[in-house]
């Protein structure tokens, strides 16, 4: 489904050059659940941003469904992102001024489709994550676990082919973390490709494969059960 | 999508009430001020357009010069101009005249007797040429009889307590006149004045008397001449034949030209709607407008809106990081940059729309006091007047677009990768742009303070020092004529230090240009009749020679017409006659030609001795300048000796005024006497300048308030942004004073930079404005220092409160904040 080929990412200022990723090559198949692990500052989030087309690599190729998107314009990346990728963030990143239902709907309003169809999809997504009863609440009225469910619902509502989760359980307690992991695993079972950055070995165990990064490079890949 | 945007915008507004209120308040005040200024500008350009057929109606104006004067333009012409034009030009459908007595006629009903300033004498066909709105009666025939009288509604109510007292009678200077029509009160946006219009057919009317006294070509201009052209006729077709008309039908009398020299003159047709903004005020019924002043006030309106818009931009961009996560999420969800630009521009438009509604309400509320200040009757019918509603909406949209586009670009430009990981991010947009906008705001503010201060100084100078006389406690009692008996009895009152009669020429109400010749040097000089003691009343001391003395008969023109009488020159007059110093003029003989001299001696070439030279002084105000003048003790005739000037000791003013009233009741002609202190008179003469100064001061105050609103919000936000830094500094040992200095200095820098921009521009603008006055204050560098210092102090006062709160907070609270 996606393949990174010698991807490097360097951040440059007038005085400092920081290499966040260095010649990283990985491949993720359709329907795979991949966990990415490593110490802080190893480039996990940078990798996820590039996979999610939120950032562009400095060097290398990124093949997404057979297209090398590394040199694509922002407009083209935007279309690919909108049509194929859902995001779950560590700090939830819900919009405070919108209700739960409206937050989930944000994933649909930039696509074509009628208001009625959108509402139905939002209702289904909220039902799926068990937060439908809070549809009219604002994020600040929810607990952390509930907010992350909303974020997962937002990631799932458009039925994306790829779900990127950046430490989705990092700000949650054990129980809530388990619940969110259950939702992501469920999405993977349903056929979505999931790439998840995590610090938790326990949660990484839910993935089919774990990729470890260190200082911007891939140091190991472990298959489930091995 | 739009519903989502609207929900976000409205809830964001509700959640940030303080900043939303500051933004809306600033924009509303700016828009409201701009609205009122726009109404004023529109009013200035709307004069006389209410008169039907105004496009075919013209005021006949006169352009003239003599060998010793420059070209000048006047609104008034000779009394015979209208009938001669009508006879000569078939293209003229109708021509009519208006004139006004120098002294207000006494209008009486029963025991009520009032000198009415705004009494006009008119040709019977005046309302065919100027068809003002009528309330009762037939204006076409109202003045066809000699006793015909047309009133305004206000006068009808004043004298009769009714709106349409047709057929009722008023005595005008003792003559019965019949009310034949009532018109609506003239609006403020007309060059016309007039509460009463009396038929010029009346034998005692000024119009009839002018016809009897003045011949064609006698250079006596005291009549306003209006012509209405036939439909489709171009004024150019008439104007090109006016030089021949003047030369053949209205040449200057030869005897007059031998006195004052060859006169060059031309007649012109000034469209009715252009009268108000015509540059010349000579002979005008009331002071006209000034295009430069209108442009300046309009510019101030634009600047105020600019300041409010800058507030909006700086606040939106400074607080942009609060929307960073939302932007990142929306982009992650697939929003294009254009989608976000539309969203944030829409939010800007929402603020602008809200502000416009509030501004319209504010403008409606403030219109009555604005009308009071400007002495106007402006209206604000935005619903019924598309020419008003359209521009309001249009300007609001443009301002919203221009002010909203930069924040929209900044907000939509956030990179999702940078903002979605969590933690705070910096304020949006370049801090240099924000600082630059604050610099611009305060540059405008400093400029307005400079303008306001300079205008105030010049106004004070105009009211006080520019006259160059001691006018304190000097009362003018307008009586015609002012006699020796009246003067002497007033002088005997305990509260009166000195008193003297004065002519209209001496008080600069009008001018009479005579010719003086010394040796080979001949010059046109203003001649002014005064009384013994006139100069002493105003504290004027001679620079050379002496003043008039009652003991010397040659000092009195009327006493011995065969003798060589005396005159006193002013400095400018002495220079114009070629004297190198005032002393050089003393004892010299000047030969005096002039209408006054001729009226009393029939000898156009009388020798007069220059007995003294006085400093230049004037009662006209600084714009008119001081003309070369000579003074003589003239006859106390009704048309010349028009007022008593009395210097009071200031201790018993009510008793003294009552005493003067008693004396007048005893020696006067039974008619009321108008009294005014010279201070009050000058105030009236300079009322337009005063109003302009007040308007500019109000605008400056408003701009200041709006800028401070923005600065307050920006400082509050900046202090919040720097909470962690402040916590760290305090943990490292910084005291409250250190933190205060840090925060206050951040907002002092742009204000200091603003002075560098405002000072040179302010200097150039004020230098040009002051050069329009014949006498003016100097541009004092302290004015600029004051403006800059005031701006800095204002900025400090605005930000110190917020800064103090943050500076005093505990470090742990700040560090835990992160």
Contact B333 A154 (CB under 8 A): yes
Contact A97 B15 (CB under 8 A): yes
What's the CA gap between A52 and B9, in Å, rounded?
28
Beta bridge partners of B477: B644, B675
What's the CA gap between A51 and A73, in Å, rounded?
15
Contact A98 B4 (CB under 8 A): yes
Judged by CB atoms within 8 Å, which residues 9-38 of B form the interface with A?
A: 11-12, 15
Average pLDDT of the residues in B22-44: 91
Dihedral sign for Cα B688, B694, B700, B702, please.
Answer: negative
Of B7, B15, B328, the CB nearest to A102: B7
Contact B332 A45 (CB under 8 A): no
DSSP A132: G
pLDDT by residue (tens digit) across B502-543?
887 888 777 677 778 888 777 878 888 888 999 999 999 999
Q: How close is the nearest chain B Cα to the Cα of A155, in Å?
A: 9
- Chain B residues inside the 8 Å CB shell of A75: 336
Average pLDDT of the residues in A29-48: 90
Percent of chain B with pLDDT over 90: 40
Residue A139: CB atoms within 10 A of its CB come to 20
DSSP B162: S
- By 3-state DSSP, what share of chain B in percent is helix, strand and coil, each rounded to 5? 50, 20, 30
What's the CA gap between B126 and A104, in Å, rounded?
77
> Which residues of B138-290 form beta strands (DSSP E)?
148-152, 169-172, 175-183, 196-199, 224-229, 264-271
Q: Which residues contact B142 (CB under 8 A, 6 or more apart)?
A: B127, B148, B150, B180, B181
- Distances B541 to A44, B515, B582, B663, B722 between C-alpha atoms, Å: 95, 25, 13, 30, 69
Q: How close is the nearest chain B Cα to the Cα of A56, in Å?
A: 10
Among A63, A52, A3, A60, smallest CA distance to A27 is for A3
pLDDT by residue (tens digit) across A29-38?
989 999 999 9
Q: What is the pLDDT of residue B694?
A: 87
ipTM of the complex in this document:
0.77
Contact B328 A49 (CB under 8 A): no
Query: What value does the CA radius of gyration of chain B take, rounded to a whole number of Å?
Result: 34
Query: Between B96 and B468, whose confidence is greater?
Result: B96
Q: What is the pLDDT of residue A8?
A: 92
What's the CA gap between B716 and B698, in Å, rounded?
27
Main-chain phi, psi angles of B450, to 5 degrees: -60, -45
Q: Which residues contact B817 (CB under 8 A, 6 or more apart)?
A: B723, B724, B727
The answer to whether residue B416 neighbours chain A at the CB level (below 8 Å) is: yes
The answer to whether residue B336 neighbours chain A at the CB level (below 8 Å) is: yes
pLDDT by residue (tens digit) across B478-495?
887 888 899 999 999 999
Query: Between B627 and B144, whose confidence is greater?
Result: B144
Stated pTM of the model: 0.80
- Chain A residues inside the 8 Å CB shell of B350: none
Of B325, B339, B415, the CB nearest to A93: B325
Contact A97 B12 (CB under 8 A): yes
pLDDT by residue (tens digit) across B690-726?
888 888 888 888 888 888 888 888 887 777 777 777 7
- Chain B residues inside the 8 Å CB shell of A109: 1, 4, 333
- Chain A residues inside the 8 Å CB shell of B415: 54-55
3-class DSSP state of A74: helix
Residue B422 banded pLDDT, cuts 50, 70, 90: low
- Distances B332 to A53, A84, B149 between C-alpha atoms, Å: 9, 11, 83
Nearest residue in B to A56, CA atom: B417
Contact B1 A54 (CB under 8 A): no
Average pLDDT of the residues in B448-463: 86
Q: How close is the nearest chain A Cα to the Cα of B331, in Å?
A: 8
Interface of A with B (CB under 8 A): 45, 49, 52, 54-55, 74-75, 78-79, 81-83, 87, 89-91, 93-98, 102, 105-107, 109-111, 154, 166
Nearest residue in B to A93, CA atom: B325
> Which residues of B117-262 form beta strands (DSSP E)?
119-122, 134-137, 148-152, 169-172, 175-183, 196-199, 224-229
Main-chain phi, psi angles of B733, to 5 degrees: 115, 5
Residue B769 banded pLDDT, cuts 50, 70, 90: confident
On whether the CB atoms of residues B333 and A106 are closer than 8 A, the answer is yes
pLDDT by residue (tens digit) across B331-388?
888 888 899 999 989 988 999 999 999 999 999 999 999 999 888 888 888 877 777 8
Contact A97 B4 (CB under 8 A): no
* Burial track B157-186 (b if 16+ CB lie within 10 A, e otherwise): ebbbeeebbbebebebbeeebbbbbbbebb
Beta bridge partners of B614: B570
Nearest residue in B to A52, CA atom: B332
On whether the CB atoms of residues B777 and B806 are closer than 8 A, the answer is no
B187-191, B281-285, B491-495, B747-751: least confident range: B281-285
Chain A / chain B CB contacts < 8 angstroms: 77
Q: Which residues contact B94 (CB under 8 A, 6 or more apart)?
A: B86, B125, B128, B129, B227, B228
- Chain A residues inside the 8 Å CB shell of B335: 78, 110
Q: Which pair of tokens denotes residue B499? A: 């008193």
- Distances B39 to B246, B379, B382 between C-alpha atoms, Å: 41, 8, 11
Among B738, B712, B711, B744, smallest CA distance to B726 is for B738
On the question of a cis peptide bond just before residue B481, with omega within 30 degrees of 0, the verdict is: yes
Q: Which pair of tokens denotes residue B772? A: 């329009």
On whether the CB atoms of residues A19 and A8 are closer than 8 A, the answer is yes
Q: What is the pLDDT of residue B176?
A: 96
Cα dihedral B546, B552, B554, B559, rounded to 10, equals 130
């Amino acid at each position: 489904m996606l393949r990174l080929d010698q991807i490097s990412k360097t951040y440059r200022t007038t005085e400092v050059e920081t290499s966040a990723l260095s010649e990283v090559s990985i491949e993720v198949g359709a329907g795979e659940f991949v966990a990415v692990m490593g110490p802080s500052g190893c480039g996990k989030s940078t990798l996820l941003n590039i996979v999610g087309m939120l950032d562009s690599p400095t060097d290398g190729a990124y093949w997404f469904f057979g297209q090398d998107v590394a040199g694509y314009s922002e407009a083209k990346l935007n279309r690919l992102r909108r049509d194929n990728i859902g995001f779950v963030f560590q700090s939830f990143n819900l919009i405070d001024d919108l209700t739960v239902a409206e937050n989930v709907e944000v994933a649909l309003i930039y696509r074509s489709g009628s208001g009625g169809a959108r509402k139905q999809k939002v209702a289904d997504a909220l039902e799926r994550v068990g937060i439908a009863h809070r549809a009219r609440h604002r994020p600040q009225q929810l607990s952390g676990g509930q907010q992350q469910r909303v974020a997962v619902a937002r990631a799932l509502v458009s039925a994306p082919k790829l779900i990127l989760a950046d430490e989705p359980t990092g700000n949650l307690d054990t129980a809530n973390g388990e619940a969110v992991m259950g939702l992501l695993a469920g999405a993977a079972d349903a056929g979505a490709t999931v790439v998840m950055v995590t610090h938790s070995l326990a949660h990484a165990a839910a993935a089919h494969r774990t990729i470890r990064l260190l200082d911007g490079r891939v140091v190991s890949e472990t298959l489930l059960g091995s | 999508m739009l519903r989502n945007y609207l929900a976000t915008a409205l809830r964001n507004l509700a959640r940030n009430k303080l900043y939303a209120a500051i933004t809306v308040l600033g924009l509303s005040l700016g828009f409201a001020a701009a609205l009122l200024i726009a109404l004023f500008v529109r009013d200035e350009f709307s004069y006389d357009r209410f008169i039907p057929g105004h496009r075919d109606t013209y005021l006949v104006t006169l352009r003239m010069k003599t060998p010793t004067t420059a070209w000048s333009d006047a609104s008034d012409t000779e009394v015979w101009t209208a009938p001669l034009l009508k006879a000569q030009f078939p293209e003229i459908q109708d021509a009519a005249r208006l004139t006004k007595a120098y002294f207000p006629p006494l209008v009486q009903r029963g025991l009520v007797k009032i000198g009415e300033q705004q009494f006009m004498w008119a040709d019977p066909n005046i309302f065919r040429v100027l068809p003002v709105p009528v309330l009762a009666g037939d204006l076409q025939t109202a003045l066809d009889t000699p006793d015909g009288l047309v009133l305004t509604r206000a006068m009808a109510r004043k004298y009769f307590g009714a709106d349409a007292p047709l057929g009722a009678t008023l005595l005008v200077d003792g003559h019965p006149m019949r009310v034949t029509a009532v018109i609506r009160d003239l609006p403020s946006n007309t060059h016309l004045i007039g509460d009463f219009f009396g038929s010029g057919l009346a034998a005692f009317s000024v119009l009839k008397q002018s016809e009897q006294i003045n011949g064609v070509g006698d250079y006596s201009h005291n009549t306003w001449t209006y012509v209405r052209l036939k439909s489709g006729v171009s004024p150019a077709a008439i104007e090109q034949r006016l030089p021949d008309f003047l030369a053949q039908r209205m040449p200057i009398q030869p005897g007059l030209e031998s006195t004052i020299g060859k006169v060059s003159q031309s007649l012109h047709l000034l469209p009715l709607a252009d009268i108000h903004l015509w540059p010349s005020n000579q002979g005008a019924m009331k002071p006209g407008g000034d295009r430069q002043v209108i442009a300046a006030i309009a510019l101030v309106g634009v600047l105020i809106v600019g300041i409010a818009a800058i507030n909006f931009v700086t606040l939106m961009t400074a607080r942009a990081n609060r929307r960073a996560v939302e932007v990142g999420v929306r982009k992650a969800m697939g929003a294009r940059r254009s989608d976000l630009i539309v969203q944030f521009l829409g939010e800007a438009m929402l603020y602008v729309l809200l502000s416009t509604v509030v501004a319209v309400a504010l403008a409606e509320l403030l219109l009555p006091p604005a009308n009071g200040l400007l002495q106007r009757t402006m209206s604000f019918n935005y619903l019924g007047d598309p020419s008003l509603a359209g521009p309001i909406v249009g300007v609001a949209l443009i301002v919203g677009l221009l002010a909203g586009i930069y924040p929209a670009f900044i907000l939509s430009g956030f990179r999702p990768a940078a903002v979605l990981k969590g933690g705070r991010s910096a304020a949006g947009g370049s801090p240099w742009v924000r600082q630059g906008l604050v610099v611009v705001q305060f540059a405008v503010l400093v400029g307005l303070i400079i303008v306001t201060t300079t205008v105030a100084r010049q106004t004070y100078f105009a009211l006080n020092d520019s006259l160059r006389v001691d006018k304190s406690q000097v009362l003018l009692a307008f009586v015609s004529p002012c006699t020796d008996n009246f003067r002497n009895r007033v002088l005997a009152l305990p509260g009166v230090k000195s008193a003297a009669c004065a002519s209209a020429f001496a008080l600069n109400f009008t001018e009479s240009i005579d010719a003086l010749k010394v040796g080979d040097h001949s010059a046109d000089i203003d001649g002014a009749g005064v009384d013994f003691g006139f100069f002493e009343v105003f504290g004027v001391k001679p620079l050379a020679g002496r003043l008039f003395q009652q003991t010397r008969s040659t000092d009195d023109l009327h006493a011995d017409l065969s003798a060589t009488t005396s005159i006193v020159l002013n400095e400018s007059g002495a220079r114009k006659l070629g004297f190198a110093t005032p002393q050089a003029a003393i004892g010299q003989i000047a030969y005096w030609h002039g209408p006054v001299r001729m009226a009393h001696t029939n000898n156009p070439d009388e020798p007069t001795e220059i007995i003294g030279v006085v400093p230049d002084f004037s009662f006209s105000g600084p714009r008119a300048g001081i003309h070369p003048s000579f003074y003589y003790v003239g006859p106390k005739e009704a048309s010349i000796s028009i007022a008593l000037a009395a210097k009071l000791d200031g201790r018993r003013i009510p008793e003294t005024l009552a005493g003067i009233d008693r004396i007048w009741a005893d020696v006067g002609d039974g008619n009321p006497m108008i009294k005014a202190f010279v201070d009050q008179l000058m105030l009236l003469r300079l009322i337009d300048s005063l109003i302009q100064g007040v308007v500019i001061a109000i605008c400056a105050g408003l701009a200041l308030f709006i800028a401070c609103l923005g600065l307050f919000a920006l400082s509050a936000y900046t202090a919040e942004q720097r909470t962690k830094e402040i916590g760290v500094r305090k943990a490292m040992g910084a005291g409250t004073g250190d933190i205060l200095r840090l925060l206050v200095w951040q907002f002092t820098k742009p204000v200091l930079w603003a002075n560098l921009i405002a000072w040179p521009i302010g200097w150039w603008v004020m230098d040009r404005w002051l050069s329009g006055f014949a006498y003016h204050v100097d541009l004092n560098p302290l004015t600029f220092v004051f403006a800059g210092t005031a701006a800095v102090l204002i900025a400090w006062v605005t930000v110190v409160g917020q800064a103090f709160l943050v500076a005093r907070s505990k470090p742990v609270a700040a560090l835990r904040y992160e």
